[in-house]
Each structure stands twice: as structure tokens, then as C-alpha cells.
Structure 1
């Protein structure tokens, strides 16, 4: 399956050629009790750091 979810976080293990390869993703509010009005107010909870940064 090819992902169409773009990701520019180079440190994430699911990022391959700027596309997210995670089987599922979870996005939530970046701050609790905060009204979300822009994408900057959200955070990817699927992020897992790469073990080998090259």
C-alpha cells in the first residue's frame, strides 16, 4: 500500500522519501484544553524516532 500522507520529519522512522509509512496515524491537539484553529495547533502522536540517523 502506498501512503499519500506527506511527512517532512526526517527523524521519524515512518518517514520514507517524505511520505508516512505507518499503518495508522494518530493526530491530536498539541495542547490540552486548547481550541484548534490551524494545523500548527496539532501534533502527530505516531512519531517514533529513528534508531539510526544517517
Structure 2
């Protein structure tokens, strides 16, 4: 997640759109820990892929 800052604003928006929508959002959960008003630490967790999806 820390490498997103190195992308152009347009590419960063594309990546965020992909991460926030299905099917990616079904198994990749994004959140953040807010340390202060100006600093947030991203938190990423992976959920197991249901067997029906993994067989597709």
C-alpha cells in the first residue's frame, strides 16, 4: 500500500477503483488506523476465497 504514493494521481485512482469493487473487495478488505489528523496507517486483510469461486 505504501507504494501507491509513487503512482501518478490517475493511476492511483484506477488502483483504488479496482480495490474497492467486486470481485476484489470480496476477499481483500481495506481499512486504516488513524494515528493523528494527518497520519493514517493502511490495514489490509485477506479473506479466504470460497471453494465455489476458486474452482471457476
Q: TM-score, normalised by structure 1?
A: 0.29
Query: Could you say which structure has the larger radius of gyration?
Result: 2
Structure with more helix by fraction:
2
Structure with more strand by fraction:
2
